[in-house]
């Protein structure tokens, strides 16, 4: 990146919208932000209710942003017969956390589910994911992270992984601590032990964690932008809009608990304040791996 003389170097931020494939409203919002140059990446639920309908658009969107797999073990139903026999419905996050840390997960079946979700992404979008992360950060849990890294080592080219080892941001320190210590730091240690040519790219800092109750998303974003280091950072977000006829959740009878936050995030990211805030902070949207 070439900088003008006398100006400080700009810092890179990979802004990634999660949950593509969950509802048509979310998918439309993400697609619009990608086309407007407001996102650098989006992460896809290949077992989401809207995935089959909206996945064909991913190929075109990939000319403007990276598309990743949002590996899911906590909502909806498994794609693989192996896991569906054991879990007709995915467990809640608290249950999954407990079973993972007690080493009670059916890892062979979870590995089959990873393969099924990966292949569903490839079949619908036409190519392998540009990166991988986890819905509710499940990719870093004990047992899961090992089979994930084993899977990625068998792929023909290195696939970047979202690291959850270091989270910065305004407030919400306990939430960030839980993410780091439930498996984020252990995943980073595993990634750091890898050697070429099998070393997997990953971000050094993660931003974007909050309680979804804050109503001023712009203020949060300005605080996150101030913390982007010279080596760059990844910031995850959840923009979306409601749309008639959409399933509101991977669990069809449950409302989307962060629907209001999705609309606030979309309004800010699509508005005039966001590019002004990026420029004021000296941050540009760019890959960080």
CATH of the domain at 214: 3.20.20.370
SS3 77: coil
Count of domains for the chain = 1
- What domain range includes position 40? 11-278
Q: With respect to residue 243, please indicate whether it lies within any of the assigned structural domains.
A: yes
Confidence of residue 197 (pLDDT cuts 50, 70, 90): confident
- Tell the burial category of 37 from Cβ atoms under 10 Å away from its Cβ (0-12, 13-18, 19+): exposed
Largest CA distance in the chain: 62
- Tell the burial category of 245 from Cβ atoms under 10 Å away from its Cβ (0-12, 13-18, 19+): exposed
Contact 224, 208 (CB under 8 A): yes
Q: With respect to residue 287, please indicate whether it lies within any of the assigned structural domains.
A: no
pTM of the entire structure? 0.93
Taking only the tens place, the pLDDT of each residue in 212-243 is 998 899 999 999 999 999 999 999 999 999 87
Q: With respect to residue 185, please indicate whether it lies within any of the assigned structural domains.
A: yes
Q: With respect to residue 1, please indicate whether it lies within any of the assigned structural domains.
A: no
Q: With respect to residue 284, please indicate whether it lies within any of the assigned structural domains.
A: no
Q: What is the DSSP letter of 36?
A: T
If we measure between CA atoms, which residue out of 20, 214, 254 comes closest to residue 133? 20
- Beta-strand ranges (E) seen in 7-116 are 11-20, 41-44, 66-71
Taking only the tens place, the pLDDT of each residue in 56-75 is 999 999 999 999 999 999 99
């Amino acid at each position: 990146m070439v900088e003008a003389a006398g100006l400080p170097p700009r810092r890179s931020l990979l802004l990634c919208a999660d949950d593509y494939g969950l509802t048509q409203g979310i998918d439309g919002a993400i697609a619009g932000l990608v086309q407007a140059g407001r996102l650098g990446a989006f992460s896809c639920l290949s077992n989401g209710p809207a995935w089959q309908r909206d996945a064909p658009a991913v190929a075109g969107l990939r000319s403007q942003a990276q598309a990743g797999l949002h590996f899911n073990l906590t909502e909806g139903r498994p794609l693989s017969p192996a896991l569906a026999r054991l879990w007709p419905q995915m467990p809640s996050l608290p249950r999954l956390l407990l079973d993972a840390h007690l080493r009670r997960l059916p890892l062979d079946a979870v590995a089959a589910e990873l393969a099924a979700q990966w292949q569903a992404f490839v079949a619908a979008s036409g190519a392998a994911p540009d990166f991988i992360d986890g819905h509710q950060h499940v990719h870093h849990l004990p047992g899961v992270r090992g089979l994930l890294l084993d899977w990625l080592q068998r792929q023909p080219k290195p696939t970047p992984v979202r690291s959850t080892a270091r989270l910065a941001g305004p407030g919400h320190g306990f939430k960030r601590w839980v993410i780091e210590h439930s498996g984020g730091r252990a995943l980073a240690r595993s990634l750091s032990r890898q050697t070429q040519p099998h070393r997997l790219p990953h971000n050094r800092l993660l931003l974007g964690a909050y309680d979804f109750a804050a109503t001023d998303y712009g203020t949060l974003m300005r605080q996150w932008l101030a913390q982007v280091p010279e080596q760059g950072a990844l910031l995850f977000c959840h923009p979306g809009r409601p749309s008639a006829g959409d399933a509101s959740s991977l669990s069809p009878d449950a409302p989307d608990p962060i629907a209001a936050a999705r609309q606030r995030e979309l309004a800010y990211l699509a508005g005039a304040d966001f590019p002004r805030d990026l420029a004021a902070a000296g941050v540009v949207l760019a890959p960080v791996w």
